[in-house]
Structure 1
Amino acid sequence: MTVIVGSLNPGKVQPVQEVFAALWPDLAVRGAAVPSGVRDQPLGVGETRRGALNRARRAARLPGATWGVGLEGGVRVERGQGWLFGVVAAARAGDGLLLSARTAELPVPPAVLPRVLAGEELGGVMDELLGTHDLKRGAGTVGALTGGLVTRPGVWAQALALALAPARHPELYPPVLPVPTNAR
């Protein structure tokens, strides 16, 4: 029985391993290259959610999958301010159960937002500005800007644990219907 993360990024696979090891230690976790079906840098909650759902569903269809997990980082804009956040989706193979949750948000530095809106990926922009390399595969922008008090893997782990609560306690939740692909 295997959990397949729709990414090979260790900053995404590691938190999934930690959460599933705590909740269902008999499940192995591995990453797989799975397309999100959205831009490299999703904009808005809807597009970011679609990317996470697509990754989870596609990973759940891979041979040997018990669960598929998708993690997608996005930027939303409200009143000229950018906010970095993520969406986690978990699809249980076999029964169609699909769960999701959002992460906490971090304000995007004002000088970064125009570049992201012009199509650049946040991680690359932050690497350039901070003099780092491949920030998104480690502590992430959130880790760099909070001095390591909050890290990208930590934020992903929290959101995944929240998303999985209905699967842990189905007696407390009515049957969960699959989330439509175009959910906002």
Structure 2
Amino acid sequence: MGSLNPGKVQPVRDVFAVLYPELEVRGAAVPSGVPDQPIGVGETRRGAVNRARRAARLDGATWGVGLEGGVRVERGQGWLFGVVAAVRAGDGLLLCTRTAELPIPPAALPRVLAGEELGRVMDDILGTRDLKRGVGTVGALTGGLVTRPAVWAQALSLALAPALHPALYSGQPNGR
């Protein structure tokens, strides 16, 4: 797992405990190769894939997983989303998907576009601390109905579907 953030490591542990119970999930500090707050789908995807590939190259890895939260802007509105990338170490199979999206409060968007990380901005706005290591912005803004770990777990589960049912996905490019 290409992060040490418990809000990212735990959902990966939860998913792998069900789908691959024989594997141990360990967090690792690997660089994303993108800014702390990626802007746009392409940059966010690049960060997730970089983390997954770097994690997959670590000693003993069976899978590498990268989770990258990003912001995209459309018609002046900011949207928070994430990209999940999973790389199978043995053959390099790359599986990616995106999370659901959440509109970003208008007061936060200029600061994010100026280079600040959304989690820190939201901590300032909401008076919280280390929001990104817990329920996340999504948890704070949905009253806890949807949490960051739950969003990551859902997206990772969806990304892994082709690995769980390879015959149904044969002939599909794997994105190496």
TM class, shorter-length: over 0.9
Which of residues 22, 27, 51 is equivalent to 2:47? 51
Aligned to 2:159: 163
How far apart in 1 are the matches of 2:2 and 2:95?
15
- Number of matched residues? 176
Structure 1's unaligned 5+ residue stretches are: none
Equivalent AA in structure 2 for residue 139 of structure 1: V
Aligned to 1:29: 25
Aligned to 2:128: 132
**Structure 1 runs of 4+ with >4 Å offset:** none
**Correspondences of 1:11-160 after superposition (within 5 Å):** 11-160=7-156
1:32-81 deviation line (CA, Å, top 9, x unaligned): 00000000000000000000000000000000000000000000000000
How far apart in 1 are the matches of 2:171 and 2:133?
35
TM-score normalised according to structure 1 size: 0.94
What is the SS of the residue equivalent to 1:76? Answer: strand
1:10-42 deviation line (CA, Å, top 9, x unaligned): 000000000000111111001000000000000
What is the SS of the residue equivalent to 1:14? Answer: helix
Displacement of 1:174 in angstroms is 1.6
Displacement of 1:94 in angstroms is 1.5
How far apart in 1 are the matches of 2:103 and 2:126?
16
Which of residues 3, 6, 11 is equivalent to 1:7? 3
Structure 2's unaligned 5+ residue stretches are: none
8 Å Cα contact 1:68/1:93 also seen in 2: yes
Q: Percent identity?
A: 82
8 Å Cα contact 1:72/1:88 also seen in 2: yes
What is the SS of the residue equivalent to 2:153? Answer: helix
Alpha carbon RMSD of aligned pairs, Å? 0.8
What is the SS of the residue equivalent to 2:26? Answer: strand
Equivalent AA in structure 2 for residue 151 of structure 1: T
As a proportion of its length, which structure holds more strand? 1
Displacement of 1:175 in angstroms is 4.1
Equivalent AA in structure 2 for residue 169 of structure 1: H
Displacement of 1:179 in angstroms is 2.4
How far apart in 2 are the matches of 1:175 and 1:68?
22
What is the SS of the residue equivalent to 1:40? Answer: coil
TM-score normalised according to structure 2 size: 0.98
Equivalent AA in structure 2 for residue 66 of structure 1: T
